[in-house]
Amino acid sequence: FIKDYSDSDRIELQEELIVVVIKMLIKHDYLNYYQGYHDICLTFLLVLGADLCLPFIDTITKSHFK
């Protein structure tokens, strides 16, 4: 995980990541979890933040994971 994050920031980010992944898997119930999917979601989460990342992850999920 990212070195420069405090323990509390890391835990908060992990919790946000879990929510993002679960939201996508619920929305796209035909999918299973793919190895590395959390890394893709984490990248969008770090760059865009929790509020903005979901539409981008949704687009990537629909176009690349079937």
Helices (H), 3-49: 7-27, 37-48
Closest CA to 58 of 14, 18, 26, 13: 26
pLDDT of residue 31: 84
Q: Please, what are the domains in the chain?
A: 7-64 (1.10.8.1310)
Residue 1 reports pLDDT greater than 70: no
Residue 2 reports pLDDT greater than 80: no
pLDDT digits (tens, 9 = 90+) for 9-54: 899 999 999 999 999 989 988 888 788 999 999 999 999 999 899 9
pLDDT of residue 56: 97
Q: What is the pTM of this model?
A: 0.84
More confident residue, 59 or 31: 59
8, HSE (Cβ side, Cα atoms, 13 Å): 0
